[in-house]
Structure 1
């Protein structure tokens, strides 16, 4: 029997009694494994080899995993700091415990998101407790990391899957193919194998010399495995944000831009939020250690202060609470993009606006929330407003129905709500496609006179803040937003999720 050189070498290396992997045959024949696999496929088609397939999964510790091996898992460090603070007896200040733990940056978020999950204690309203019966020395994830580092296998699939979601191990699934000679292969070997001279590619030399007319070309195997190539792609959250922008532009809106860190004046005071409101404490916002903002329009500052102290109109009463200009000038990360709306509606950002006018933004906001399946410390808000004469709540509801219809969501529900800056106000809810539960997806209302009059706006303004991540959950059925956003996101899910249009 006459065979191409590689096929002949592979057949000679194969055994009728012992299975040999493609890698082992490649080593014996000093041939690239991909080339060997191509030859194996051809020989199997001829009935000379039989091929068996098994799947092997390997787990390797990532760089972040090695950091935790050296320093300890963030949630374990947080638990030990909580014990030192006496949180096993009485709740302790979360800020104090985090400071004592030495955690910083993203490690804080990771510790908080895994602390309660593992039963180390509870986190609520800025306080932390520690379960005295918890045993951090027996943390299964820490033990699994140590075993992998020592070259040992880990049999607990749930633990490995959790470590992979956290990015602490990389899991690779490979198909191992082994070959053995068939009876026909043994017969062919006994009868003798001759090597046929073949070439696997057309070269310039073959063309110029004319030898291509006389040589035998190796058949191209279109079924052979090729190395997996993963190119970059736009994150599904960014794809959804871009689509939201396209929809709103198509509805006649213009995009707003502005700073992520801004004066509390723009973030809250212009919105008629009293300065002693709980949402303006350090428990809910991120204050920056930077000099106060000096570039505030003094006349607007006076009008906003007057609205807070005395109200607006003959029946206005204002707030009977402290007002501080120093507080208004403090810099914080914006808790909502309504700070942009205040900048634009006041004329401070791009000059005086003429109604009718529609504006929107899809930008990040920052809140000191407790991490869970639907809350993050930073997320995207879909801000929007319309200024025109004689607007009503029916106009606002109709806008939402048209907007969400573009994303296949038609079962909106509206619930009356209180906001310091809008009246009337209502929240929006949608049904989760997988669980069927109602999920809050936004807040909205008509801006109050106490907001509009200091800004110099003389017509109606309807406004809203919608959650981009919640829209993503309704569109794709994700049950935990941390699967698609943040340090614990599921990369395979992001790679495989089909974009909806």
Structure 2
């Protein structure tokens, strides 16, 4: 009997009494797993091997799970701080415990909810009281122990309820794989005893074989079309980029031109031109990403003077300004833009493409950066659909009509509008759309008509209506995604991105 080299090697390595997996054989033979799988099926078809299949679950810690395994679950760290503060006798002030436990950001909410869930303590009036009858012994917390077991490769012994809980907390990832095990059949043993030789086969027709005529002489490898083949994922345009390009096409079709500009810009363009006071909470280091680079020195001095005057004294007879601190160094400081309205300020001022005469329509679909808490609708960086229209006698009805026309292009017809306050627009309103799966109203943008305090220093003497819409929120309404972290970021769902059907 003659067999291809891979089949012969697998046949000789297999045992009639011990099941071994295809992955084990692949490592031992130095072959690709897909090639060994194909050889196993071919030998099974010839009756020389038996292939057994079963589904196995693989459990691995996420980055967050690994961090909690090393530092401790947030609720256990909070409880330890409470014990140290004597909260078993008298309630301890929550702020003090949070500081002592070293919890930060979203870990605080995680600690509080799980502290109560496990009966380790209760929260009332801003204080923590340790529970007298917890569900678990804190020194033997089953979720903390499970993280250690998973790290040690012992996930198979864990209760499915514990795994479900850890998965819901985002601390583990569970994947199912098909495991194939191989054993020799009686016919396989007989064939080996009688002797099997290797035959050299060709797996593909090449130009050299065709031109030389050797294809007439060689023996080609037989293929089992029912055998699993290696999955090859081809390159594909990201669905977020697809949608961004579609947004651009729609806006260009509505008569808009695209703006371009820097991601890192002076606070002057990002906020000062927008009549945002320099002591506004959104301009602190908690909400912006400041860069340790030299101050921007190429700002237009006359425009800076007019913007400063608007901040200090207001505009027109009714204007009063902010009477808040003003620092030229702060205005020149460079940060990552928190919105793409910095581009609008550059264009409206004439700094980008020269002085503009109405009517004008401009847009951008660009990335912005904010120091937000990560959740299903917020990321540290996301894409904003910026746009504005410069014309005489614009009204809110013009703005609402623009949104209605724009979103209809994406099948969204149930917009809702809510009055809102912005330092830079008056009137202002937020846009909401209904999520197709949950029915929940999702905020999808903010808009308004620029105030005189914004336009007058820029030299614009007509109306300008403007907006900032979230591209990712549009994606949620189009495709039914419930968590924007599924489509980009370090935790994105690759299978979803590979298989999602593009909506047009």
What is the TM-score of this pair, normalised by structure 1? 0.76
Matches within 5 A, 1:48-63: 51-59=51-59
Q: Residue in 1 aligned with 2:201?
A: 200
Q: Would the alpha carbon gap of residues 194 and 404 (structure 1) be closer, same or farther in structure 2, given more than 3 Å must change?
A: same
CA RMSD of aligned residues (A): 4.7
SS in 2 for 1:92: helix
In 1, Cα distance between equivalents of 2:213 and 2:321: 95
Q: Which runs of 5+ in 2 are unaligned?
A: 118-125
- Contact 2:414-2:434 within 8 A present in 1 as well: yes
- Contact 2:73-2:144 within 8 A present in 1 as well: no
In 2, Cα distance between equivalents of 1:30 and 1:468: 47
Q: Would the alpha carbon gap of residues 215 and 258 (structure 1) be closer, same or farther in structure 2, given more than 3 Å must change?
A: closer
Question: Mean alpha-carbon deviation: is it higher for 221-230 or for 149-158?
Answer: 149-158
In 2, Cα distance between equivalents of 1:360 and 1:285: 23
Q: Residue in 2 aligned with 1:411?
A: 414
Task: Note the C-alpha offset of 1:435.
Answer: 0.3
Q: Would the alpha carbon gap of residues 33 and 304 (structure 1) be closer, same or farther in structure 2, given more than 3 Å must change?
A: closer
Q: Would the alpha carbon gap of residues 151 and 250 (structure 1) be closer, same or farther in structure 2, given more than 3 Å must change?
A: same
Task: Note the C-alpha offset of 1:339.
Answer: 1.8
Q: 2:433 aligns with which of 430, 434, 439?
A: 430
In 2, Cα distance between equivalents of 1:258 and 1:267: 11
In 1, Cα distance between equivalents of 2:65 and 2:40: 39
Q: Would the alpha carbon gap of residues 437 and 343 (structure 1) be closer, same or farther in structure 2, given more than 3 Å must change?
A: same
Task: Note the C-alpha offset of 1:464.
Answer: 0.1
Q: Residue in 1 aligned with 2:374?
A: 371
In 2, Cα distance between equivalents of 1:294 and 1:27: 61
Deviation string 1:210-246 (CA, Å, 9 cap, x unpaired) is 8865665442222222333445544433333333233
Q: 1:390 aligns with which of 393, 398, 404?
A: 393
Q: Would the alpha carbon gap of residues 196 and 234 (structure 1) be closer, same or farther in structure 2, given more than 3 Å must change?
A: same
Q: Would the alpha carbon gap of residues 210 and 241 (structure 1) be closer, same or farther in structure 2, given more than 3 Å must change?
A: closer
Deviation string 1:391-412 (CA, Å, 9 cap, x unpaired) is 3323222221222222222221
Q: 1:478 aligns with which of 481, 487, 495?
A: 481
In 1, Cα distance between equivalents of 2:488 and 2:264: 22
SS in 1 for 2:93: coil
In 2, Cα distance between equivalents of 1:298 and 1:168: 52
Q: 1:296 aligns with which of 284, 292, 299?
A: 299
Q: Would the alpha carbon gap of residues 474 and 414 (structure 1) be closer, same or farther in structure 2, given more than 3 Å must change?
A: same
Task: Note the C-alpha offset of 1:305.
Answer: 2.9
Q: Residue in 1 aligned with 2:320?
A: 318
Matches within 5 A, 1:62-461: 71-72=70-71, 75=74, 79=78, 89-92=92-95, 97=99, 101=102, 111=107, 115=111, 118-119=114-115, 142-154=144-156, 155-156=158-159, 173-178=176-181, 189=190, 199-201=200-202, 213=216, 217-231=220-234, 233-288=236-291, 292-314=295-317, 316-319=318-321, 321-326=323-328, 327-461=330-464
SS in 1 for 2:442: strand
Task: Note the C-alpha offset of 1:385.
Answer: 0.7
Deviation string 1:164-206 (CA, Å, 9 cap, x unpaired) is 8999767664322345678xx659959x978588542179998
SS in 1 for 2:433: strand
Deviation string 1:46-100 (CA, Å, 9 cap, x unpaired) is 667654310123345688876765x526957985998699798335399x959x9
SS in 2 for 1:457: coil
- Contact 1:74-1:111 within 8 A present in 2 as well: no
Task: Note the C-alpha offset of 1:146.
Answer: 2.3
In 1, Cα distance between equivalents of 2:335 and 2:213: 76
Q: Would the alpha carbon gap of residues 110 and 48 (structure 1) be closer, same or farther in structure 2, given more than 3 Å must change?
A: same
Task: Note the C-alpha offset of 1:443.
Answer: 0.8
Q: Would the alpha carbon gap of residues 97 and 285 (structure 1) be closer, same or farther in structure 2, given more than 3 Å must change?
A: farther
- Contact 1:305-1:323 within 8 A present in 2 as well: no
SS in 1 for 2:411: coil
- Contact 1:82-1:92 within 8 A present in 2 as well: no
SS in 1 for 2:55: strand
Size of the aligned set, in residue pairs, is 483
- Contact 2:75-2:115 within 8 A present in 1 as well: no
Task: Note the C-alpha offset of 1:136.
Answer: 7.8
- Contact 1:198-1:218 within 8 A present in 2 as well: no
Deviation string 1:297-324 (CA, Å, 9 cap, x unpaired) is 232223223333443334x232353241
Q: Would the alpha carbon gap of residues 441 and 49 (structure 1) be closer, same or farther in structure 2, given more than 3 Å must change?
A: same
Task: Note the C-alpha offset of 1:388.
Answer: 2.1
- Contact 1:8-1:194 within 8 A present in 2 as well: no
Task: Note the C-alpha offset of 1:162.
Answer: 8.0
What is the TM-score of this pair, normalised by structure 2? 0.76
In 2, Cα distance between equivalents of 1:208 and 1:332: 63
In 2, Cα distance between equivalents of 1:52 and 1:28: 19
Q: Residue in 1 aligned with 2:470?
A: 467
In 2, Cα distance between equivalents of 1:62 and 1:434: 27
Q: Would the alpha carbon gap of residues 188 and 335 (structure 1) be closer, same or farther in structure 2, given more than 3 Å must change?
A: closer
Question: Mean alpha-carbon deviation: is it higher for 303-312 or for 74-83?
Answer: 74-83
In 2, Cα distance between equivalents of 1:4 and 1:378: 56
